[in-house]
Amino acid sequence: MIGPGKSSSGSAAGPAGLYGVVAIKLGKALLLLTLAVGIFSLANNDLPRELETLLRVLHQDPAHEFWATLAAKLESLTPAGLQFLASGTLLYALLLFAEGLGLLCGCAWAVWLAIGETAFFIPIEVLDLLHRFRWGIAAVLAANVLIVAWLVRYRHRWFRHGRARAAIPAPPVDPAPGL
């Protein structure tokens, strides 16, 4: 298997780019894992009261329209709904961990998983931008397009896709042992 950063000819192939993608995937996984644990821990709490406490600590006005709307939406969430949300967040974090570690180890399946997972969000982001333009979503869209294009272009430099590995020669057999 070709390790990260080496092409089949042995020349450097931009390992910083690969490690950058791995860092993004593992960073997102760690954030989502933290979020999932936080959601699990809040599942049986009074969320509007928790939000108000947090806002007072942050010196924010809980009566502001945005926070009041958020508190009303939090009130409609059930503990079962929060556990479902936390479970989905945890599963996505695990997918990102597998993706990042697979890329880091040079697994061919990981590059395809990363391409598919990243490309999945592109149409959603485009539709969101068509509905209402926001610079943050535009930046995320641009980053995802660049990551997918970069992975597609350079996947052959680090990962073998279905190529047969060279057979390890068998040790020679002595036709007459002990003679």
Distance of CA 93 to the CA centre of its chain: 7
Same domain, 123 and 79: no
**157 within some domain:** yes
Same domain, 131 and 75: no
Same domain, 76 and 18: yes
Same domain, 31 and 95: yes
**173 within some domain:** no
End position of a domain, from candidates 70, 105, 140: 105
**23 within some domain:** yes
pLDDT digits (tens, 9 = 90+) for 9-23: 443 345 788 889 999
Same domain, 112 and 146: yes
**Highest-confidence range of 4-13, 43-52, 154-163, by mean pLDDT?**
43-52
Cβ 12 vs Cβ 6: under 8 Å: yes
Which residue segment(s) compose the domain that 78 sits in?
14-105
Cβ 148 vs Cβ 116: under 8 Å: no
**63 within some domain:** yes
Same domain, 115 and 97: no
Same domain, 123 and 144: yes
**Highest-confidence range of 37-51, 106-120, 147-161, by mean pLDDT?**
106-120
pLDDT band at 142 (very low <50, low <70, confident <90, very high): very high
Report the pLDDT averaged over residues 46-65: 90
C-alpha to C-alpha distance for 28 and 159, rounded to whole angstroms? 23
pLDDT of residue 173: 63
pLDDT of residue 87: 96
pLDDT digits (tens, 9 = 90+) for 86-112: 999 999 999 999 999 999 988 889 999
Same domain, 80 and 145: no
Instruction: Say whether pTM exceeds 0.95.
Output: no
Number of domains in the chain: 2
